[in-house]
Amino acid sequence: MSLLQLLGSVIAVFIVAAIARWLFPVRFRLEDAHLHRELERVYPDLEPEEILIDRAGNAALLRLSGARGIVVVRRLGDKAVLRHWMPGTKVTATRTPTGLMLDTDDFTEPKIVLDLDAEGVSRTESWLALLAAPDGHAHAA
C-alpha cells in the first residue's frame, strides 16, 4: 500500500466520522429523572437524599439516605456509569479553576472532573467528609 492510498483512507475515515457526528449528535445530559431511573436499575435498594449535577451535565453525585455513602454517576456517550462509594472509601478532592477533581485509590476508576460553582464545591467536600468518617456521620473536632 502506498503512502498516498494510506493518506486517502485516513481522510475518508475522518470524513465519515465527521458526517456521523453531525447527523447523530449526542445530546444526553444527566438530569434528576434519569438519575433516579439509573439508580433504581443499578442499585434498587439505595435511595438518594440529595443530588448534585455538575454544570456541564456530564457527572453527578447522589448522597444516599441513612449514611450509606455516595453514588457517582458519569456520562459515557449516551449511557451513564454508576459507582457506589461506601463510608470508608478514600477519595481525594483537588480544587480546579472550574470545580473539583475526585480521585480514588481504585485503579479501574478514572478521575472524575466536576464543573461546579463555589456552593457545589463546598457541598461536595462536606459529602466527602461523611465518607471519611467511619460511621458515615460528620463529627465535630
Q: Does any domain span residue 107?
A: yes
- From the CB of residue 65, how many other CB atoms can be counted at a distance below 10 Å? 10
Range name among 67-71, 72-76, 124-128, 131-135 with the lowest pLDDT average: 131-135
Q: Does any domain span residue 82?
A: yes
Q: Does any domain span residue 139?
A: no
The predicted-structure confidence for 94-125, as pLDDT tens digits, reads as follows 999 999 999 988 888 888 899 999 999 999 99
The mean pLDDT value for 28-49 works out to 89
**Domain that includes residue 128, residue range:** 32-132
Q: Does any domain span residue 103?
A: yes
- From the CB of residue 123, how many other CB atoms can be counted at a distance below 10 Å? 16
Q: Does any domain span residue 23?
A: no
Q: Does any domain span residue 53?
A: yes
**What share of the chain has pLDDT > 90, as a percent?**
48
Total structural domains within the chain: 1
Per-residue cell: 19: 458526517
Q: pTM for this one? A: 0.74
**Facing residues of 51 across strands?**
62
Q: Does any domain span residue 24?
A: no
d(CA 112, CA 109): 8
Fill in the DSSP letter of residue 14: H
Q: Does any domain span residue 57?
A: yes
